Structure 1
């Protein structure tokens, strides 16, 4: 599978998120603790928001642990909203257009998991994408098609509802094709102001996902920890696996849950697909 992080808070250098934590994404690219496999070396990507209206994206097919361009950029780019992803392909080609996060307009999207039976469903899924959006599909992954289905179902207006409709449509399509458990996902998407993260699978056994606890509380628990004092109270992080072993710093996101991060506020709500006729 893959590993990812979504960060919202005070502007930080990308290296503070990608390289410096004890269990950073670069460490996880070689030695993931909770992933389906320990090595995630089939490319990486980073998306961030700055002065322009649309986010910047840097993606590469190189392993994250050995890419000197990533290390150079991470030491010079600072942002208050970042998505980062390391990839472990389960069949689609290792190419730049298949690396996450995917971008369309102001929106970024990344996915850990898979759509089981994607090859059998692909025609039906792709044909459901809005014709105006279809030309923007550049790669060959199920994750990118999933993104454009969510766009088709209203991501820019109501992200949780759009993702619920997209998942419901995928499950309905899978049922017609005799596929029992099509969706395995942890997903993060953002418009540059809010982040929505989802943990769900059709069989109820989703990949790992965690969210950070309140920074101000951690400061009281660990007054001598300098890292915590450099972060604003609004800082929030959602990750595939904890970035360190600091006790109390991370909580597991429950199964079938949507996490919304907005202006330093965090909300967890139940997530369920919206199936046709429901």
Structure 2
């Protein structure tokens, strides 16, 4: 499973959260504590919001712990909202096109989890992507396919409903093909104003997700980082968390069978 981190609040330099803390995301790329895969070295990426309308994105296939360009960028970039991801490939080859986060317009998206049996239903999942969006498809993994399909299901207008509809169709495809393995979906979507974090699975084992109120804003992460005793809170399974402008709210995330 991959590891990721998102932040919203006062502008901070990216390295203050991604590199400097104990058990930082970059450290987790080499030694994760709450993932099935200890090492997440199949690429990394970061997306951030600045002065322009659309976010900046950096992605690469080097492991985060050895990517000097990532470290330099994080040392120089200051942003009020950003997403970062270190990858352990479960679907799709190791390539820059399969690294997270994915971007479309104002949106950034990253995912930890997988569609069970994706190789058996990949063609059907990709068929959900509208023709005018399919040209954006660069990789061959399930995460990018979910994002583009959700854009076709109305993500711009109602992102939570669009993602729920997309996962519902994927679940029905899995059932139709007698796929017994689970669909696991812990993900974060950003638009520059707010973060939407979802923790859900078709079984009882969604990937881990936590959040914490910092002095400068709100962090959401696959694993806690920082000093022992810091007040991290688990995001409940089957829920959606919205964070922005210093406020946090929770609602149920329902995927219709």
Provide TM-score, normalisation by structure 1: 0.90
Q: Give 1:244 deviation, angstroms.
A: 2.4
Unaligned stretches of 5+ residues in structure 2: none
Task: Write out aligned runs for 1:38-117 (5 A).
Answer: 38-117=38-117
Q: 1:75 is paired with a residue of what secondary structure?
A: helix
Q: 1:165 is paired with a residue of what secondary structure?
A: helix
What is the aligned counterpart of 1:258 among 234, 237, 240?
Answer: 240
Alignment partners' CA distance in 2, 1:261 and 1:152: 24
Q: Give 1:108 deviation, angstroms.
A: 0.6
Which of structures 1 and 2 has the bigger CA Rg? 1
Match of 1:224 in 2: none
Alignment partners' CA distance in 2, 1:17 and 1:244: 9
Unaligned stretches of 5+ residues in structure 1: 216-227
Alignment partners' CA distance in 2, 1:29 and 1:258: 25
Match of 1:172 in 2: 172
CA contact (8 A) 1:21 1:244 kept: yes
Provide TM-score, normalisation by structure 2: 0.97
Alignment partners' CA distance in 2, 1:172 and 1:253: 26
Match of 1:3 in 2: 3
Match of 2:18 in 1: 18
Q: 1:132 is paired with a residue of what secondary structure?
A: helix
In the TM superposition, structure 1's runs of 4+ consecutive aligned residues that sit over 3 Å from their partners are none
CA contact (8 A) 2:42 2:88 kept: yes
Q: Give 1:120 deviation, angstroms.
A: 1.0
Shifted more, 35-44 versus 181-190: the winner is 181-190
CA contact (8 A) 1:181 1:202 kept: no
